[in-house]
Amino acid sequence: MTLQEKIERANEEAVKCITDAEPYWVDVLPAGECLENFKENTILHSGPPIAYENMCGLHKRGMINAVLFEGWAKTPQDAEKLILAGKVNIDSAFNYNTVGSGTGIVTKSVPLLVAEDKRTGKRAGVFPAEGKFGGGFCGWGVYSQAIAENLRYMREELFSDIRKILKETGGIALKSIIAKGLEMGDENHSSQTAVDLLFLKAILPYALKCKNYEELILYFVNTGRFFHNFGQAASRCGIISADGIPYSGMVTAAGGNGVEYGIKVAGLGDQWFTAPSPMIEGTYMTPGSKREDQLPWIGDSSIVECAGLGGIVSAASPVVCSFRGDKLEDSIKTTRDMEKISITKNKSYRIPNLDFDNPPAGIDILKVAETGILPVIDGGMINRDGGWMGAGCARIPMECFEKAAKAFWAKYGG
């Protein structure tokens, strides 16, 4: 078998982890019980690993607040001393079976929505939208007693009844919701209007069996874009199975920490390939927003692009593309360009604006390096001091792919 044949066969195996995945919402568990190999004193963050001293302000604040949240220190000053003394294990969320959306702060006590790929049994946990606190502790690293109490309430009370029903029934299928959402105008990164409503329809029969059904239903009704977290969990639980497949050049993780942006590759193990984090270009929607206040890309929500959603399926959501000034024909061209750097098409999904053609799936580092076409990643603009500024898109830096391709050929020859 030639090297090229080995690569093609490996990529076919890897991309099936995306196209053939059957993600279900099956549980809600504290991170300490859900994440594999998770140490007691660990704080996770979004993007590639980074030392505390080199973090952006939002991540430093998130680290300190995480120590306070877990009760490891009583003051911010003592929390920072603990971190600088090396008493806290700081790591990237993508090094575990989770995703760090926004700042991506996760500690042992944070509740996680658990998605399971019924095809493989692989599980991933992603923290839920924090309801009235928006990005709150996990997404923005913001801390208060009210926020801490809300997370405890979500972990121990809000989802307590639905957990039992999820276990009894096998869970709620997420793939069909995503598929219908794509046909209704969501790309499932910056837009969740359709999938939020579709999920509500799916969960109502379950929720009405719960004693706290009013609280549960109100949480979903009053929390905008709550399905974004389910979409990330669904994407992650499928793509985890591709990790470690020899000879595959498929991207399995992508995210930024406000300083660097990095990717991981199926056939290259736990290696990160990084570049300076890009700026999101788009439309400011918060009054007074200025570019100098905007933080470079922070967050791991690009996992949905790795799974063939978000910017990859721009044609599905011209509304999102309009945030960056694109017209329908531009969004269609973007998705057609993404086909040139992808391994296959996902027959589970259809895009009306592509005459119901199947969208691309599986970003191939070698195709990116060869064509020079960079993957589009949708996302929200974030203020350096915290807070949402607007929406738009960026491109994963070419430097990530150049480094990854060099490492790939060094390992496998060619």
Instruction: Enumerate domains of the chain plus CATH numbers.
Output: 248-412 (3.90.1700.10)
> How far apart, in whole angstroms, are the C-alpha atoms of residue 380 and residue 176?
25
Average pLDDT over residues 363-385: 95
pTM for this model (two decimals): 0.97
Specify whether the CB–CB gap between 185 and 196 falls below 8 A: no
Please name the residue ranges forming H helices in 340-387.
Answer: 365-371
Predicted confidence (pLDDT) at residue 414 exceeds the cutoff of 80: no
> How far apart, in whole angstroms, are the C-alpha atoms of residue 29 and residue 56?
29
Average pLDDT over residues 305-311: 98
The pair of three-digit structure tokens given for residue 196, joined into one six-digit string: 């939020």
Q: How distant, in Å, are the alpha carbons of 247, 263, 272, 338, 408 from that of 268?
A: 8, 11, 9, 22, 7
> How far apart, in whole angstroms, are the C-alpha atoms of residue 14 and residue 369?
19
> How far apart, in whole angstroms, are the C-alpha atoms of residue 397 and residue 272?
13
Predicted confidence (pLDDT) at residue 56 exceeds the cutoff of 70: yes
Band of residue 51 on the pLDDT scale cut at 50, 70, 90: very high
Predicted confidence (pLDDT) at residue 323 exceeds the cutoff of 90: no
Average pLDDT over residues 327-344: 97
